[in-house]
Amino acid sequence: MKKSNKKVLIAVLVLLASVGFLIYRGLANTSVYYMTAGELKTSTLGRQLGADQTVRVGGLVVDGSIDYNQRDLSLRFSIKDENNPQEVIDALYNGAKPDAFEPEIEALLEGTYDRDKNLFLADTLLVKCPSKYESEQENPKEARQ
C-alpha cells in the first residue's frame, strides 16, 4: 500500500472510531425506555425503574379526567393502557394544553413516574394528531349515518 493511501486510511479509521464513540455515548446518555401505561405499572422492568429515571409512556387519555388550569398552565389527566384499560396512571404536565388534546386520544409522555402516588410528572407531552393524515379510525360510512 502506498504511503499516502495509508495516511488516508488512518484518518478515515480515526474518523470512524470517533463516530462510533459519539453514537455509543449518545445512546448511553439519552436512550429511554418506552412502555405502555400498563407495562409501566405492572411489568418487572417497569417496577425496576427508579423514581428519577426518565421514561416514555403511552396511553389513551381517560374521558372525564382532564383538569386544565389555564391561569397556572397546569394540566392534570389520566391515561389508560390501550389494551388493559383498567391500568390507569395519573399525569401532571406543566404547560399549555395542546390543540389536539382530548379524551380517548393517544398521548405520549416523557418524564418520571412516582410509583407511590401513581403520578407521572411529564416534561413533554405529545399527542397523536387524531385524523393523522389518513382518517383510519373514522370510517366515513359510519360517520355519515
Partner 1 sequence: MITFGNFSQAAALFFTLLSMGLLLCGLSRNNVRLVQAGKRALISAAIATTLASIALAYLFLTDNFSVEYVASYSDRALPLFYKLTAFWAGQKGSLLFWAWVLSLFIALVIFNNRREADDRNTPYVYLVLAGTLAFFLFLLCAVSSPFETLGFLPRDGQGLNPMLQNPGMIFHPPTLFLGYIGFTIPFAYAIAAMITGNTGADWIRKTRAWNVLSWIFLSIGIILGGQWAYVELGWGGYWAWDPVENASFIPWLVSTAFIHTAIIQERRGIMKVWNMVLIQLTFLLCIFGTYLVRSGILQSVHDFGSTGLGGYFLVFMLVAMIGGIYLLAESYSEFRTPGSIESYLSRESTFLFNNVVLLALAFATLLGTIFPILSEIVTGNKITVGQPFFNQVNTPLFLILLLLTGICPLIGWRKASATNLKRNFLGPALTALVCGFIMLAFGVTQPYALLAFLLSAFVGATIVQEYLTAIRSRKKLTGESSASAGLRLLWKMRRRYGGHIVHFGLAMMVIGIAASSAYKLEKQGTLRQGESMSIGDFELKYESFRQYEKFNRTIYAATLGVFRDGNRIDELDAERRYYINAKQPTTEVAIRSTLAQDLYVTMPGIGQGNEITLKVAVNPLLIWIWFGSFLMVIGGILAIIPSRRKAS
Instruction: Say if residues 113 and 100 touch (Cβ distance below 8 Å).
Output: no
Burial class (CB in 10 A: 0-12, 13-18, 19+), 113: buried
DSSP 8-state code for residue 129? -
CA–CA separation, 98 and 104 (whole Å): 14
Of residues 72 through 111, those in contact with partner 1 by CB under 8 A are 72-73, 95-100, 102, 108, 110
The nearest distance, CB 87 to partner 1, in angstroms, is 17
11 forms part of the interface with partner 1 (CB under 8 A): yes
Which range in 59-67, 78-86, 114-122, 131-139 contacts partner 1 by CB under 8 A? Answer: 131-139
Of residues 33 through 72, those in contact with partner 1 by CB under 8 A are 33-35, 45, 56, 58, 68, 70-72
The nearest distance, CB 46 to partner 1, in angstroms, is 10
Which range in 59-67, 82-90, 111-119, 135-143 contacts partner 1 by CB under 8 A? Answer: 135-143
Instruction: Say if residues 108 and 96 touch (Cβ distance below 8 Å).
Output: no
Type of residue found at 84: N
134 forms part of the interface with partner 1 (CB under 8 A): yes
- Torsion over CA: 49, 52, 58, 61 (sign): positive
Rounded to the nearest 5°, which phi and psi values hold at 71?
Answer: -65, -45
Q: Which residue has the cell 397523536?
A: 128
Interface contacts to partner 1, rule CB under 8 A: 2, 4-5, 7-8, 11-12, 15-16, 19, 22-23, 25-27, 29-35, 45, 56, 58, 68, 70-73, 95-100, 102, 108, 110, 126, 128-136, 138, 140-141, 143-144
